[in-house]
Amino acid sequence: MTKLSVNINKIATLRNARGGNTPNLVQAAIDIQEYGAQGITIHPRPDERHIRYQDAFDLTPIVKTEYNIEGNPIKKFMDLVIEIQPAQVTLVPDAIDAITSNAGWDTRKNQSYLREIVGEFHGHNIRTSIFMDPDLELIEYAAKTGTDRIELYTEAYAVGYGLGNKDCVKPYIEAAELAHKLGLGINAGHDLSLENLNYFAKEVPNLLEVSIGHALICESLYLGLENVISMYRRKLE
């Protein structure tokens, strides 16, 4: 069964908008796990506009499911991950000024760099995943880095599905099939929602985990966080 990891960046964004500690990020993570999420994802950025680096440490003792830390592997980020030792680190090539992640890695161009980064995290027994577009050639290069998994960047699927084009899932099916053949685990994330998740999860083979934040938190404003997490779990079953 595909696991649901909840990205809590948007909860941190709401907290930071007013200052103080409301909503309480740590308590939210505790509750989200109790409601049925099988993982907690955070994506600290250098400007700390949502998740702060201190949040990553504060969450460490209370994440009893899977702790996934995403980010661009600059030195500060790598030092953070190595000290915390999460279950998984997801490497994302986001620019410092990016509003959100908007592209996967060019694993051919960055082959030696990624191999070095993956090796460093493996030296600390941290599972690695590389954020990628569903590009078959680049997936072959990803396998050469030694990474454990890839995370398929699903914005193109979400846009296509929203326009009624279900064929937009085909590149993801092909990517997942190749990745599995190459011995890579398959994660997915970005713009997945209650509307489009079930079809994606049914069609894409060997999907181990989805990481969902923005849509899940937005839907929770209307439907309630506990209810929404249960709805997502049902979509994945």
Domain spans of the chain, in order of start:
3-236
In this prediction the pTM is 0.95
Bridge partners (DSSP) listed for residue 74:
none
- pLDDT value at position 95? 66
Length of the chain: 237
Per-residue pLDDT of the chain (237 residues; tens, 9 = 90+): 999 999 999 999 999 999 999 999 999 999 999 999 999 999 999 999 999 999 999 999 999 999 999 999 999 999 999 999 999 999 999 865 555 566 899 999 999 999 999 999 999 999 999 999 999 999 999 999 999 999 999 999 999 999 999 999 999 999 999 999 999 999 999 999 999 999 999 999 999 999 999 999 999 999 999 999 999 999 999
Rounded to whole angstroms, the Cα distance separating 228 from 217 reads: 9
43 tagged catalytic: yes
CB 52 within 8 A of CB 19: no
Q: Is 35 exposed, middle or buried (0-12, 13-18, 19+ CB in 10 A)?
A: middle
pLDDT at 96: 59
Q: Which residue has the tokens 């590009």?
A: 135
State the Cα–Cα distance between residues 109 and 86, nearest whole angstrom. 27
Nearest to 236, CA basis, from 93, 214, 32, 203: 203
Which residue in the list 50, 66, 151, 190 is annotated as catalytic? 190
CA 47/CA 26 separation, integer angstroms: 20
Respond yes or no: is residue 124 known to be catalytic. Answer: no
Respond yes or no: is residue 70 known to be catalytic.
Answer: yes
Homologous superfamily in CATH for domain 3-236: Aldolase class I (3.20.20.70)
Out of 70, 151, 209, 219, the active site residue is: 70
What pLDDT sits at residue 94? 82
pLDDT score recorded for residue 66 = 98
82: number of Cβ within 10 Å: 15
Tell me which of 43, 50, 151, 209 is the catalytic residue.
43
Res 134: pLDDT: 98
> What integer pLDDT is reported at residue 103 of this predicted model?
82
Residue type, 166: K
